[in-house]
Amino acid sequence: MESGDKVWEVFVQKKSGLPFKHVGNVHAYDKKMAVQNARDLYTRRGEGRELWVVPTSEIVSVPLDDADAFFDPSEDKPYRHATFYEIPDGVKHL
Amino acid sequence: MDKFQEAFDEIIEKDLKVEPRDWMPEEYRKTLIRQVSQHAHSEVIGMQPEGNWLLRAPSLRAKQVLLAKIQDEAGHGLYLYSVAETLGISRAETIEQLHQGKAKYSSIFNYPTLTWADIGAVGWLVDGAAIINQVSLQRTSYGPYSRAMVKICKEESFHQRQGYEIMCQMAFGTPEQKEMAQDALNRFWEPSLMMFGPHDADSVHKGQSMAWKIKRESNDHLRQRFIDRTVAQAEYLGLTIPDPNLKFNEETGHYETSPFNWDEFWNVVKGNGPCNTQRLDHHKRAHENGAWVREAAAAYAAKTENKVA
Amino acid sequence: MKITIENKEAKFLLRIADTALILGQRVAELCSNGPFLEEDIAQSNISLDLFGRAEELYKIIAKIEGDKYTADDYVFHRNEREYFNLKLVEQPNEDFAWTIARQYMHDVYVQEVFSQFQSSSNEELAGLSAKVLKEIRYSYLHSKDWMMRLGLGTEESHRRLQDAVSHLRKFVEEIFNWDELDREYYQDCDKIKSNWESEVNATLDACNITREDIPSQSMRDYRDGFHSEHIGHLLSIMQYLPRAYPDAKW
């Protein structure tokens, strides 16, 4: 079986002012090839002005077993949202 | 029932998406791998019948449009191999399975493109049928597959039009061109309808796939939609659908057709179509010819890239 | 249809247009034959750029010639001796090393050509050049990176690249056999040659490829419509439909 090609995640910025967005991945053997392959696969229709690639193996995820511990505790903190607060009628610009 | 199964069932029940790291039944994963890899290989093998006319495209415009279209198919193959990888099977393995005959691709690509009109028919009918299927699959329950379908449908919106444009040029061209157009329709009509797969009553994987919402609409349902849309398009071209029994049923609001030649369909699936061996050999040959290039790229990277971890 | 070209500038530009077209056709052969899918897509992009460039150039030629013919007429209705592409670009894809070496040598050359066209008195040509130079720059980066990978990759890739370069360099000499037309429409012919040589020599050194001595070639000049035998096969495939169905519209 062959080896040597890596998977790279691709992020594209469409216009200045917009955030980079994850669009998918490509296979490539080296960094230069990775940006070129990403350019050829994901920006053929004018979708890009800037591009990042990063080896998939370098991306760190939340441990699968701990996902609940990471994310559930934020669900009972409604006071972080503007809708939590009551503002008297007639008060503006809040 | 264990809590993993319960969580999975809830995702399906509520029409949410299953993501790569979610627990999923082994059969769900296997079914998806089979379907997604078949879909990926279809995109890639599908490059060949169109590529057959790439160097002979009759105008600069046609040449560029066809090349851009085939290039899209390659890109769609990549999106789908990437989906398969999220299910735990590498691209190298998927390709190996294709070469060993363990993984299939759409049987339609085992038919030859004999004339330039066939390039029109492939875009109009084969892409047309594929798009109906893919639009439906945008709602599939597996997140990465669904997202790939959304992207593919967006990009393929020009593919069917490209085919129909060629059909228009041919059907409204010289008598010889019109004859080629009719001949292409004659040869591609029934195989295109059979692209949707066996009738619902005979479909092996249908029940479970529908229950898991991998498939959202049945083969017959999708096929009917395609027929209903396509008949009028053929009429506009002044071409005859090669089915003497084709008629519109006022009550159902749908067209009815003759029974299809399923014996031929299954025989082509089994490997005995006009181009099965050719298609697979072409893919193997390109892959083998490229081995030294891939090795060189790997060796160069090993020498020059900073080792990570 | 017998296509004739009257104007000097049109005759000159035809060389550039034909070179783009014929290379585009050669590179299109890679489609579904690439060493892996990402590279297949990359080669298609390069081919599309070349076809697009050729089309724009034929349109400029057609305009100079008073619109007697369309871009497609120039492509599909001229025979071997009426084509004026570099012999370099009609050479076949013997293997991926040929594809890359041919592309790299071509890219360095056209980079110089279109740089000079930017200040052409033909405004359309000058305008086109700005766009084309970006495409060439990308293709150049792509082909140069592959020169490095193949030259420094494995023993086999090095041997194949060396073979390809040694073969293809025979078709380089004619590029710089300037004639009157060249001298009229390039600002500086010598600069094209010297820049080409210093760039290519540096890359060949960097990727460990030897420049074997190549004796002077007696192959007659592409400017007079001389070719290798490959051109006839390429044209007969490319022109088949319009030739076989002269009344048809496509």
Domains and CATH numbers, chain C: 8-244 (1.20.1260.10)
Asked if B85 lies within 8 A of A7 by C-beta distance, the reply is: yes
> For position C29, what pLDDT does the model report?
98
The whole-angstrom separation of Cα B170 and Cα B120 is 9
Substitution target from B67, B72, B96, B293 for chain C, most C beta carbons within 10 A:
B293
Question: Which tens digit of pLDDT belongs to each residue from C92-143?
Answer: 999 999 999 999 999 999 999 999 999 999 999 999 999 999 999 999 999 9
Alpha helices in chain A, H assignment, sequence order: 31-42, 67-71
End-to-end Cα, chain A, rounded Å: 63
**C52 against B157, higher pLDDT:** C52
Quick one: which of B41, B112, B115, B108 has its CA closest to B80? B41
Asked if B58 lies within 8 A of C156 by C-beta distance, the reply is: no
Mean pLDDT of chain A: 92
Question: Which tens digit of pLDDT belongs to each residue from B60-102?
Answer: 999 999 999 999 999 999 999 999 999 999 999 999 999 999 9
Cβ–Cβ contact A25 with B under 8 A: yes
CA torsion sign for C231, C48, C182, C89 is negative
Mean pLDDT of chain B: 96
Residues β-bridged to residue A51: A12
**Res. B215: pLDDT tops 80:** yes
Question: Whose structure tokens read 């790939």?
Answer: B148
Distance from CA of A65 to the nearest CA of B (A): 10
**B156 against C202, higher pLDDT:** C202
Residue A49 phi, psi dihedral angles, 5° rounding:
-125, -15
| Chain A residues in contact with C40 (beta carbon < 8 A) | none
A11 and A21 in contact (C-beta within 8 Å)?
yes
pLDDT band at B203 (very low <50, low <70, confident <90, very high): confident
> For position A1, what pLDDT does the model report?
39
> For position A4, what pLDDT does the model report?
84
| Chain A residues in contact with B302 (beta carbon < 8 A) | 4
List the single range of A52-56, A68-72, C56-60, C176-180 with lowest mean pLDDT: A68-72
Chain C residues with at least one Cβ partner in A under 8 Å:
36, 38-39, 41-42, 45, 141-142, 145, 149
Burial of C180 (0-12, 13-18, 19+ CB in 10 A): exposed
Report helix angle B26-45 to B276-289, nearest 10. Answer: 90
**Res. B30: pLDDT tops 70:** yes
> For position A2, what pLDDT does the model report?
57
Asked if A37 lies within 8 A of C145 by C-beta distance, the reply is: no
Contacting chains of C (3 CB pairs or more, <8 Å) are A, B
Q: What's the maximum distance between 2 C-alpha atoms anywhere in chain A?
A: 71
Q: CB pairs under 8 A, 24+ apart, for C179-185? A: C179/C221, C179/C223, C181/C8, C181/C11, C181/C12, C181/C223, C182/C12, C184/C8, C184/C12, C185/C9, C185/C12, C185/C13, C185/C120
Q: Please give the average per-residue pLDDT across B294-305, as a whole number.
A: 96
Q: Name the pTM for this structure.
A: 0.96
- Alpha-carbon Rg for chain A in angstroms: 21
Mean pLDDT of chain C: 97
Q: Please give the average per-residue pLDDT across B260-280, as a whole number.
A: 95
> For position B309, what pLDDT does the model report?
40
Asked if B292 lies within 8 A of C154 by C-beta distance, the reply is: yes
> For position B247, what pLDDT does the model report?
97
Q: Please give the average per-residue pLDDT across B100-109, as a whole number.
A: 96
Asked if A37 lies within 8 A of C38 by C-beta distance, the reply is: yes
**ipTM value > 0.90:** yes
Q: Please give the average per-residue pLDDT across C20-43, as a whole number.
A: 98
Question: Running along chain A, 94 residues long, what does each successive block of 10 average in pLDDT?
Answer: 83 96 96 97 94 96 90 90 92 88
The whole-angstrom separation of Cα A39 and Cα A49 is 10
Domains and CATH numbers, chain A: 6-84 (3.10.20.520)
CB-CB: which of C36, C45, C141 is closest to A40? C45
